[in-house]
């Protein structure tokens, strides 16, 4: 019985370590050597841990609208910079400019580095 408990604990630790590594390996998901800049409409905000997500609709080179998903920092990191969820929510439906490191696999998503509101204010990632 003690052997089963020990194996279960060891397995739990290994799985937790793997999940923690995967969470903190953003460089495996996004290309920090590339930067894309899009101007489009903020359509959705997903404000939850471990990171916020923004949905932005922007036109591609052929004039077709595409939806891009951008990952940001954890919600509590914005509070230390006096940026609230309400600040993001006010921008829904407005045109923003987003600078982001794109996904390595080519999907329309990225880790945003800078977000510029219509009034010219910038939100920079830490």
Give the pLDDT score at 93. 97
Give the pLDDT score at 1. 59
Give the pLDDT score at 62. 96
- Please report, in tens digits, the pLDDT of each residue of the chain (126 residues total): 565 665 455 444 444 444 444 445 566 889 999 999 999 999 999 999 999 999 999 999 999 999 999 999 999 999 888 899 999 999 999 999 999 999 999 899 999 999 999 899 898 886
Q: How many residues does the chain have?
A: 126
Q: Report the C-alpha gap between 88 and 98 in whole angstroms.
A: 13
Q: Domain 31-124 is classified in which CATH homologous superfamily?
A: Nucleic acid-binding proteins (2.40.50.140)
Give the pLDDT score at 15. 46
- Whether the full predicted model's pTM is greater than 0.85, yes or no, is no
Closest CA to 32 of 99, 114, 101: 101
Contacts for 72-81 with beta carbons within 8 Å, 24 or more apart? 72/111, 72/112, 72/115, 72/125, 73/125, 73/126, 74/49, 74/50, 75/47, 75/48, 75/49, 76/49, 77/126, 78/52, 78/123, 81/126
């Amino acid at each position: 019985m003690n052997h089963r408990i020990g194996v279960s604990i060891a397995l739990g630790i290994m799985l937790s370590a793997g999940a923690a590594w995967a969470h903190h390996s953003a460089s495996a998901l996004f290309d920090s050597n590339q930067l894309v800049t899009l101007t489009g409409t903020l359509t959705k905000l997903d404000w939850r841990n471990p990171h916020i997500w923004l949905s932005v609709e922007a036109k591609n080179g052929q004039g077709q609208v595409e939806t891009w998903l951008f990952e940001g920092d954890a919600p509590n990191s914005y509070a230390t910079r006096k940026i609230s969820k309400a600040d993001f929510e006010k921008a829904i439906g407005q045109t923003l400019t987003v600078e982001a490191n794109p996904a390595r696999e080519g999907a329309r998503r990225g880790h945003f580095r800078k977000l510029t509101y219509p009034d010219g204010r910038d939100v920079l990632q830490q």
